[in-house]
Structure 1
Amino acid sequence: MARLFLCEKPSQARDIARVLGVTQKGSGCLQGHDVVVTWCYGHLLEQATPETYDPAWKRWALETLPILPREWQLVIKPDWRKQFNIINKLLKDSTEVVIATDAEREGELIGREILEYCNYRGPITRLWLSALDDVSIRKGLADLRPGASTETLYCAGLGRARADWLVGMNLTRAYTVLAGRQGHDGVLSVGRVQTPTLKLVVDRDREIAAFVPKPFWDVVGTFQAEEGLFQAKWKPSDESLLDDEGRCIDEQAARALVQQAEGHPGRIVSLETVRKQQAPPLVMDLSTLQQEGSRRWGYGAQEVLDIAQALYETHKATTYPRTDCRYLPVSQFDEAHQVVTALQQSDPSLTPLIDALDLSRKSRVWNDSEITAHHGIIPTTSPCDVTRMSVPEHNLYDLIRRHYLAQFLVPHEFDQTEVILDLVGETFVASGRQVRVEGWRELFRRPASGDDGEEQESSGKAKKEDRALPALQQGEVCPVTHLEIAANKTKPPRPYTEGTLIKTMKNVARFETNEKLKARLKVSSGIGTEATRAAIIQTLLKRGLLRKKKGIVVSTPMAQQLIDRLPAMITNPGMTALWEQALDEVAAGRMTLEDFMERQEILIKRLIQQASDVTMDLPPPSTPKCPECGANTRKRNGQYGPFWSCSRFPECKGMVKIESRGRRKKTSREKAGHCRGKGRR
């Protein structure tokens, strides 16, 4: 009989076992004296499919909806059955279970759903960790929480999983069946996160399609100062000449100014220079890594996640990648020398950069109050073989390590100069930047992304306001060497890439007008999680609702039709915020799981009722007509291969046979009988 520590993943188990002094390897566990540490691989269990509850629910049909399980069931994931059986056996021999999964709602669900499934009824305690370094683990072990203290968090996790299932199973089936009646062959995914994500892309595509470029004019003057030339742009004082963005929309006014100013000098009426510092960027979290991978190299979100996972699991080069945190625990500051030494051993070419580091410098990245379930992605304390990495792996690894090394370099310093000139009574403005201390920017061939997620220009394409100005004096008179009218047009918003879509999912609160819901979306970091956003985009791509072309993600006509037909409460990210508010109440013990689920069931019934009245106006499919009733057909697979079946099946049994050479051959209604019941819905 032993005390059993149940962890969420093998790496977590190894870290905890190391501190416990548990070193003997067992089958799917680590063993010590009266202590066993075992692990999951995330969720070992999943929600059962509808037909598990009722065979009639296997068929996709509106009359079977809504599907509302009375007694919820879980099933073991086939890939993890072996590990589940190991845990089940260990539980039978345990005197106590310490839940050591991630310290958040999903981690609580992963651990407790196994205990419930295995009917474990022994004592439970909770190891609550904010980081997996030795100091943090020892602190957590010395302060184990009673199991009852986090039970409501488990209830909230169950509520989230079941509510997602209800929406996905019911609404996906409803709208897929409606589309199938018009011959659409495929699944129309509907989900709590999928659908608001899809709407983001649909809205952007429509905004681009409806965009009408509008002309505006800039007047740019080149001025001769005593120490050199510089450029300044006209800033009209007459607001009637400006659009909402402050751009001049009156060409005649611009031309009149150029004529009026001919032969007149400008005079500097305001000159202000401020020394500014820019702290090093924080270390990476997964979404920032995905954004940078997309921006720099065009990598897809799932591709970046797979690469980050390989750096973590295969190369042992970086820490856990599925994190939403860009900070590090203070206790890990003392490991900096080990990390840097390992980096130098792995890649001696870094030596000149490493020699410039000050390992006693503690940047803002070391902040315990910002740590979530996992800290930011950084290099490990063990050397790795960089020669075994692929080019994409090395690209992302280099980005991760440079963001870590940047913490030990001085801030980037520059003088920001703002100039205002008067030219024939009109205002011209110029801005310039003079670098004084390169600091951490020496580490980056291209500037790192800003902490607010904004992309910065590469060093080869510096913004005009980043260019240095010549030395100037207050009151200096500067002759005009050239005045140019630049005719421009407003530009449509850019289409999404996978990287910018993930950024928008994370910052979706800016689209919400309700202040309470906006605040909740900010707390939950938008829609989806670091671990799920890439998979959500991938699902939408696989099911034909999104299409990727040259790195750009666009919606399909089917997606636009689906968004138009779905209720706003499903397409609006505010719905997620409402759910999260209710789940917070469950986690706090102010609402029961039963009350939460009762509300979800009422909602689903209402949504299915609304769906039954919907008519999908889809583009006509390129399929043959049914030979019996003239309706569209859908491609199905039968005992004798693929065939075109009437979209009104089973009411109509008409079909068109698909010949091996692609020719279609109509058959009689009687001959179609052998396919009865064989087709896939």
Structure 2
Amino acid sequence: MRLYIAEKPSLARAIAAVLPKPQKKYQGYIELANGDCVTWCIGHLLEQAEPADYDARYKQWRFEHLPIFPEQWQWRAKSKTASQLKAIKGLIKQATSLVHAGDPDREGQLLVDLVIEHCKTKAALKQACQRLLVSDLTPAAVARSLKQLKPNQQFAALSSSALARTRADWLYGINLTRAYTLKGQQQGYSGVLSVGRVQTPVLGLVVRRDQAIAEFVSRPFYQVEAELQTQQGERFKALWQPSEACLPYQDEDGRVLSRSLAEHVVKRIQQQPATVDTLKQQDKQQAPPLPYNLSSLQIDAAKRYGYSAKQVLDICQNLYERHTLITYPRSDSRYLPKQHHGEAPEVLAALKANSEELAKACSEADPRLRSKAWNDAKVDAHHAIIPTTKRQAAGKLGEAERRVYLLIARQYLAQFYPHYRYAHSEVTVQIAEGLFKASANQVQDLGWKVLFPRKQNDEEQTLPPLSQGQKLHCIDARVLDKQTQPPKAFTDASLLAAMTGIAKYVQDPSLKAVLKETDGLGTEATRAGILDLLFKRGFLLRQAKQIHASDSAKALVAALPELCVWPDMTAHWEQQLNAISQRQHSYQAFMQQLQSQLHQLVEQSAMVSAQAFVGLAKPAKAGRKNYARRSKAGGQRAATAKRTNKKRATAAR
């Protein structure tokens, strides 16, 4: 009997739907007509053991126990899904071959691998296990994937990477959370001061941004705008470009801080002749934006609709599992395999049937076009999020589902439209020995941009026909009063963008250079959960669309070593975990280095002054629209110092 083990019931149903019929449904599995069976996990069936499971002493949170390093790692069955694990174990005993059908990422690989290992599967059966990679739950796509099974052993490195990540997170979170919570208790703080290798650097980003806003002092600066006229009466505006002689009157960003200097320039150029000094004209084009991965979709949905990262992920899971309208959503890739290009006409036909709003755009799309999105070299375990060939009336979707589906659909549609083409002009003008600059874009072909209509900017100027050496006249000039602006508070969109573009915030120059082309902070699958967790624990608070750090978050970040609150270490971890998945680094080397680092961090925590947590005994109350927002769960955790140690340990994750 061949046994298929899917990660979720929805995937199991999709697999069974294209396998031999008639079928019989039993508790926890589906039996096929040929005797094979399809079973499923319900997400994680196993969880890591708690510290007290290794040693009863660890029920008490004490400094002398730290750091905690299990000698033999243990997993235990989750109580809510124990019956399903038992069903799978019984089926494995009867199986003659196995098919691993976890999600196509490192977490999905580990999740099913752990179940197979936990069920004490025979070595020969494990060795012969095959891997099914499904990223599209439509019947045709699943049937195609079933014909492309691979040896599960090929993905052992991916599983090792996920195992290293989950164990490292356990060690880091358990040890540092206990250390700093104990420090907080010395000053009467009653909450859990949780520390995580991803969540804490994210918290550090927000704390530092809040601090920069609080300390910001606005300064006035000045620009000079000249209005120029050709001999034919055509007009345009140009901005003054200060010379080196003006450096004493400028700030570090080149802004002029002296209004009297700007006024002097205005007086000098009023009603003066001008000459075109340089003229650059260039035809340019812009390729369609790549299809979405999860982070880029979350960022756009946050900007457009104000959805949180978790809301977008939940919506996508519905679109993928329940409606089968999109491909696998937890993808970190924005590229597509070349073989998918042949399905474009069918996908476009489905989009046309599914959405009246996109029907015209689908008719005008050219499926023969092949954008840079189709690139086999940049597709690994999964590809970009795109619509499937499933036809379903949009009326069956909720409003949020419809919106996100249309975002994904438009991004895919753009691949079948020509480049956006425009003429870029840039001119410099000499007026009374001063240099002024103007630029403008003239649209030649909107191309893919017709899919993303925007409001016209009435102030956007065009340049008249000009030539080098042409004589002009400055008919007017004015001083533009400006003010330096503080950094903007984080929003869902900008915080997600910061996590994905983490190189910008990394201090180590060598690591910064590497990270520009590699991973961000966290993964596509974990970023939404990390942010949601920080809100639930009351570390992050909302004020309308803005995200701020709570007082307890600020105190924790101030008390922790810089290593813990900057993204350098976490980014380095992600780099190593990726190397493990590529067989370029070993699990053992990664864990040994981590243990050495944790010894040092725990020693440092013992030297932290508990004064950092003075005044934080009673965290701010909940209130979603209030700056001092706390989640209900976070407020309850902080309301009493008599939480059980088991709950403390759970909160330390």
Q: Normalising by structure 2, what TM-score?
A: 0.87
Q: 1:127 aligns with which of 107, 126, 131?
A: 131
For the structure 1 residues 108 and 60, does the alpha-carbon distance in structure 2 shift closer, same or farther, using more than 3 Å as the test? same
For the structure 1 residues 335 and 397, does the alpha-carbon distance in structure 2 shift closer, same or farther, using more than 3 Å as the test? same
Q: 1:620 aligns with which of 584, 598, 615?
A: 615
Which is further off, 549-558 or 114-123? 114-123
1:496 to partner: Cα distance: 0.5
SS in 1 for 2:174: helix
For the structure 1 residues 520 and 427, does the alpha-carbon distance in structure 2 shift closer, same or farther, using more than 3 Å as the test? closer
Inter-partner Cα distance in structure 2 for 1:283 and 1:618: 46
Match of 1:556 in 2: 550
SS in 1 for 2:39: strand
- Any gaps of 5 or more consecutive residues in structure 1? 447-458, 625-640, 650-674
For the structure 1 residues 359 and 599, does the alpha-carbon distance in structure 2 shift closer, same or farther, using more than 3 Å as the test? closer
CA deviation map 1:339-390 (0-9, x unaligned): 2222222223433222221121111222222223322222221122322333
Match of 2:414 in 1: 406
Equivalences for residues 357-372 of structure 1 within 5 A: 357-372=365-380
1:444 to partner: Cα distance: 1.5
Inter-partner Cα distance in structure 1 for 2:433 and 2:341: 57
Match of 2:271 in 1: 263
Q: 2:530 aligns with which of 523, 536, 550?
A: 536
Inter-partner Cα distance in structure 2 for 1:642 and 1:316: 39
Inter-partner Cα distance in structure 2 for 1:351 and 1:335: 18
Match of 1:86 in 2: 87
Inter-partner Cα distance in structure 2 for 1:237 and 1:642: 60
For the structure 1 residues 539 and 349, does the alpha-carbon distance in structure 2 shift closer, same or farther, using more than 3 Å as the test? closer
CA deviation map 1:154-177 (0-9, x unaligned): 333222211110111111122122
* Contact 1:5/1:36 (8 A) holds in 2: yes
More helix by share: 2
* Contact 2:238/2:437 (8 A) holds in 1: yes
For the structure 1 residues 413 and 58, does the alpha-carbon distance in structure 2 shift closer, same or farther, using more than 3 Å as the test? same
Match of 1:189 in 2: 194
Inter-partner Cα distance in structure 2 for 1:680 and 1:348: 52
1:18 to partner: Cα distance: 6.5
Structure 2 residue 156 is the aligned partner of structure 1 residue 156 = no
For the structure 1 residues 79 and 402, does the alpha-carbon distance in structure 2 shift closer, same or farther, using more than 3 Å as the test? farther
CA deviation map 1:93-151 (0-9, x unaligned): 1223233434553333222211211111233344375965968985885573362x443
1:17 to partner: Cα distance: 5.7
Q: 2:398 aligns with which of 365, 370, 390?
A: 390
Match of 1:228 in 2: 234
Inter-partner Cα distance in structure 1 for 2:382 and 2:21: 23
Equivalences for residues 94-243 of structure 1 within 5 A: 94-121=95-122, 122-123=124-125, 124=127, 125-127=129-131, 129=133, 144-145=150-151, 147=153, 149-225=154-230, 226=232, 228-238=234-244, 240=247, 241-243=249-251
For the structure 1 residues 420 and 482, does the alpha-carbon distance in structure 2 shift closer, same or farther, using more than 3 Å as the test? same
Equivalences for residues 453-602 of structure 1 within 5 A: 459-461=455-457, 467-518=461-512, 521-522=515-516, 524-583=518-577, 586-587=580-581, 593-602=587-596
For the structure 1 residues 180 and 364, does the alpha-carbon distance in structure 2 shift closer, same or farther, using more than 3 Å as the test? same
CA deviation map 1:6-38 (0-9, x unaligned): 343455556666776688464444536364443
Match of 1:73 in 2: 74
1:195 to partner: Cα distance: 0.7
Inter-partner Cα distance in structure 2 for 1:592 and 1:83: 33
Match of 2:5 in 1: 6
* Contact 1:131/1:329 (8 A) holds in 2: no
2:274 is aligned with what amino acid?
Answer: G
2:418 is aligned with what amino acid?
Answer: V
For the structure 1 residues 295 and 227, does the alpha-carbon distance in structure 2 shift closer, same or farther, using more than 3 Å as the test? farther
CA deviation map 1:288-309 (0-9, x unaligned): 1211122122222212222222
Inter-partner Cα distance in structure 1 for 2:239 and 2:17: 63
For the structure 1 residues 678 and 325, does the alpha-carbon distance in structure 2 shift closer, same or farther, using more than 3 Å as the test? closer
Match of 1:451 in 2: none
* Contact 2:10/2:322 (8 A) holds in 1: no
For the structure 1 residues 20 and 218, does the alpha-carbon distance in structure 2 shift closer, same or farther, using more than 3 Å as the test? same
Inter-partner Cα distance in structure 1 for 2:130 and 2:637: 54
SS in 1 for 2:100: strand
Aligned length: 622
Inter-partner Cα distance in structure 2 for 1:85 and 1:43: 14
Which is further off, 119-128 or 375-384? 119-128
Match of 1:670 in 2: none
Give aligned-pair identity as a percent. Answer: 38
Inter-partner Cα distance in structure 2 for 1:184 and 1:372: 47
SS in 1 for 2:613: coil
Inter-partner Cα distance in structure 2 for 1:422 and 1:79: 76
Inter-partner Cα distance in structure 2 for 1:585 and 1:358: 39
Inter-partner Cα distance in structure 2 for 1:252 and 1:573: 44
Inter-partner Cα distance in structure 1 for 2:513 and 2:564: 19
Structure 2 residue 285 is the aligned partner of structure 1 residue 245 = no
1:355 is aligned with what amino acid?
Answer: S
Inter-partner Cα distance in structure 1 for 2:295 and 2:149: 32
* Contact 1:316/1:384 (8 A) holds in 2: no
Inter-partner Cα distance in structure 2 for 1:644 and 1:529: 32
Structure 2 residue 5 is the aligned partner of structure 1 residue 43 = no
1:412 to partner: Cα distance: 1.3
CA deviation map 1:445-473 (0-9, x unaligned): 33xxxxxxxxxxxx3447x6x64223333
1:206 to partner: Cα distance: 1.3
CA deviation map 1:482-530 (0-9, x unaligned): 2010121211111100111111111112222435433554455211111
SS in 1 for 2:282: strand
For the structure 1 residues 228 and 393, does the alpha-carbon distance in structure 2 shift closer, same or farther, using more than 3 Å as the test? farther
- Any gaps of 5 or more consecutive residues in structure 2? 620-635
Give the number of the structure with larger relative contact order, counting CA–CA contacts within 8 Å between residues 6 or more apart: 2
1:164 is aligned with what amino acid?
Answer: D
Match of 1:351 in 2: 359
- CA RMSD of superposed structures (Å): 3.3
2:4 is aligned with what amino acid?
Answer: F
Which is further off, 550-559 or 87-96? 87-96
Q: 1:278 aligns with which of 282, 286, 295?
A: 286
Which is further off, 166-175 or 474-483? 474-483
1:433 to partner: Cα distance: 1.0
Inter-partner Cα distance in structure 2 for 1:564 and 1:528: 22
For the structure 1 residues 234 and 32, does the alpha-carbon distance in structure 2 shift closer, same or farther, using more than 3 Å as the test? farther
* Contact 2:6/2:101 (8 A) holds in 1: yes
Match of 2:631 in 1: none
1:537 to partner: Cα distance: 1.0
1:644 to partner: Cα distance: 9.0
Match of 1:632 in 2: none
Match of 1:378 in 2: 386
Inter-partner Cα distance in structure 2 for 1:433 and 1:566: 49
Structure 2 residue 420 is the aligned partner of structure 1 residue 420 = no
Inter-partner Cα distance in structure 2 for 1:261 and 1:528: 54
Which is further off, 188-197 or 340-349? 340-349
SS in 2 for 1:258: helix
2:100 is aligned with what amino acid?
Answer: I
* Contact 2:519/2:571 (8 A) holds in 1: no
